[in-house]
């Protein structure tokens, strides 16, 4: 046994899995890379392939599978020897957890080594960036750790202790939307707004971001499509009483009076939003930048505009699988980091979320933003909700919002009836 690898432990677990289906099921959370030795990785890969295909797992079938994939590097005799030498299967769950722990420690050592090499070779990288990358990588290791459990009393006591303490909740600035959310954007929850292209997703997200900014809620706006300047043109134009096109119109741009108004607004307006201009954003960059924003800037939540523009899917991974992974990571990050997420998404011509249903499966609430034929009235249809009753925020006949274009543009909330009620 070396410090971070245990040959006998790996052999015992493999021997148990080769001879007892219960032991194999109890260790099914292991991955091939959790084994330190290449021959054991090959054997576990063969075992898992047979199990997932519903085929018989025994020394002969596994040996044949290993021979197909890596040739004679391992050998049938070694696989049979593992099965014959095993001294029982009752310890399989414990052995599997020990192996996962050793694997995690090896990965942590690798992270520490990579960090040291990066510090020594790249003098321009900041300490904040290094810390964000380190925590992201360590969290990835932690996410693969052996499952942790709490008994029911621990869960109940934690909830009892939390009673009487305020839950972090932030108003969207739209009363009817807050009502459907049972108060607003809650920390630890992820929200989605999906719509057809050009329906006004970014306008609505900009409205909410502006309200959060003015309410003193520090947050990150990840702009993958429209740049931060364009988004701010709309927000500034609303408060300056003009349309955003004024920032392109030479009559305004060359006006000393308008220049002074813009400068005054820029200096005096609240400063609780940070932008990340991120065309071509990859999943790895999203994880890194969001972790950095949480640690370095203390954000309470973030807006992602929009989901389908997060690239970086792995080789052999479908678009739907990639979107599922990104959506699930966002939901998990909200819970771990005590932040909220407001994620925009596109809907295709068939009325489904582009790239799969990951956002609807992983998020706490998902809405579809709709516009009437004239293009001015808008409403939100609740597609999914884990913690409230179903409610539709307006309708085509009684829209909840009116798109104002004289100034802004922005969505002005108008009086409307609301079907359903928040729990």
Residue 145 in this model has a pLDDT that exceeds 70: no
Domains, the chain, in order of start with CATH, read 1-148 (1.10.860.10), 169-419 (3.40.50.300)
Pick 421 or 216 by higher pLDDT.
216
User: How does pLDDT run across 353-365, given as a tens digit for each residue?
Assistant: 766 778 888 999 9
CA dist 39 and 423 (Å) reads: 55
Of 164, 175, 163, 170, which Cα lies nearest the Cα of 189? Answer: 170
Mean pLDDT of 152-161: 79
Determine which of 21-35, 186-200, 401-415 has the lowest per-residue pLDDT on average. Answer: 21-35
Of 16, 42, 11, which Cα lies nearest the Cα of 28? Answer: 16
Write down the pLDDT at residue 268. 95
Write down the pLDDT at residue 394. 92
User: How does pLDDT run across 237-279, given as a tens digit for each residue?
Assistant: 999 999 999 999 999 999 999 999 999 999 999 999 999 999 9
Residue 1 in this model has a pLDDT that exceeds 50: no
CA dist 30 and 34 (Å) reads: 6
The pTM score is: 0.70
Write down the pLDDT at residue 148. 59
CA dist 372 and 224 (Å) reads: 27
Write down the pLDDT at residue 355. 66
Torsion of CA 307, 309, 313, 317, to 10 degrees: 70
Mean pLDDT of 309-316: 89
Question: Helix/strand/coil (H, E, C) string of 362-423?
Answer: HCCEEEEEEECCCCCEEEEEEEEECCCCCCEECCCCCCCEEEECCCECEEEECCCCEECCCC
Percent of the chain with pLDDT over 90: 43
Write down the pLDDT at residue 82. 84
User: How does pLDDT run across 96-133, given as a tens digit for each residue?
Assistant: 888 888 988 888 888 888 888 888 887 777 887 788 78
Side-chain half-sphere CA neighbours of 300 within 13 A: 17
H helix runs in 124-174, sequence order: 127-143, 152-162
Write down the pLDDT at residue 252. 95
pLDDT, mean over the chain:
87
Determine which of 81-85, 301-305, 311-315, 333-337 has the lowest per-residue pLDDT on average. Answer: 81-85
308: its two tokens:
């389908």
pLDDT band at 295 (very low <50, low <70, confident <90, very high): confident
For residues 98 and 7, the answer to whether their CB atoms sit within 8 Å is no
pLDDT band at 95 (very low <50, low <70, confident <90, very high): confident
Write down the pLDDT at residue 161. 78
Write down the pLDDT at residue 421. 41
Between strands 392-393 and 418-419, the pairing is antiparallel
User: How does pLDDT run across 51-77, given as a tens digit for each residue?
Assistant: 888 888 888 888 888 888 777 767 778
């Amino acid at each position: 046994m070396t410090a971070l690898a245990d040959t006998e432990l790996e052999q015992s677990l493999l021997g148990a899995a080769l001879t007892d289906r219960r032991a194999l099921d109890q260790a099914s959370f292991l991955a091939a890379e959790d084994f330190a030795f290449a021959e054991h990785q090959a054997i576990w890969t063969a075992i898992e392939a047979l199990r997932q295909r519903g085929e018989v797992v025994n020394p002969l079938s596994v040996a044949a599978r290993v021979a197909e994939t890596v040739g004679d590097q391992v050998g049938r005799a070694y696989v049979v020897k593992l099965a014959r030498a095993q001294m029982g299967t009752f310890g399989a769950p414990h052995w599997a957890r020990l192996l996962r722990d050793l694997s995690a420690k090896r990965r942590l050592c690798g992270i520490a080594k990579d960090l040291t090499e990066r510090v020594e070779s790249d003098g321009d990288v900041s300490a904040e960036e290094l810390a964000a990358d380190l925590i992201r990588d360590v969290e990835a290791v932690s996410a693969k750790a052996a499952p942790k459990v709490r008994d029911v009393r621990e869960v109940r006591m934690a909830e009892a202790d939390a009673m009487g303490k305020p839950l972090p909740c932030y108003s969207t600035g739209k009363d009817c939307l807050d009502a459907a959310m049972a108060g607003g954007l809650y920390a630890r929850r992820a929200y989605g707004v999906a719509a057809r292209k050009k329906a006004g997703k970014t306008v609505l997200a900009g409205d909410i971001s502006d309200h959060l900014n003015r309410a003193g809620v520090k947050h990150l706006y990840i702009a993958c499509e429209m740049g931060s300047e364009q988004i701010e043109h709309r927000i500034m134009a609303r408060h300056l009483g003009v349309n955003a096109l004024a920032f392109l119109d030479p009559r305004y741009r060359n006006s000393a009076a308008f220049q002074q108004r813009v400068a005054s607004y820029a200096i005096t307006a609240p400063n609780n939003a940070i932008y990340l201009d991120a065309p071509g954003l990859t999943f790895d960059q999203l994880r890194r930048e969001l972790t950095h924003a949480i640690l370095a800037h203390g954000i309470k939540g973030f807006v992602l505009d929009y989901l389908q523009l997060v690239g970086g899917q792995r080789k052999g991974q479908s678009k739907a699988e990639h979107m599922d992974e990104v959506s699930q990571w966002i939901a998990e990050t909200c819970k771990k980091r005590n932040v909220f997420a407001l994620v925009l998404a596109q809907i295709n011509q068939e009325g489904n979320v582009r790239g799969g249903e990951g956002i609807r499966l992983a998020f706490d609430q998902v809405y579809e933003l709709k516009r009437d034929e004239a293009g001015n009235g808008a409403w939100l249809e609740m597609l999914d909700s884990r913690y409230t009753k179903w409610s539709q925020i307006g309708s085509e006949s009684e829209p909840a919002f009116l798109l104002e274009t004289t100034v802004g543009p922005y969505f002005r909330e108008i009086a409307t009836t609301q079907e359903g009620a928040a729990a």
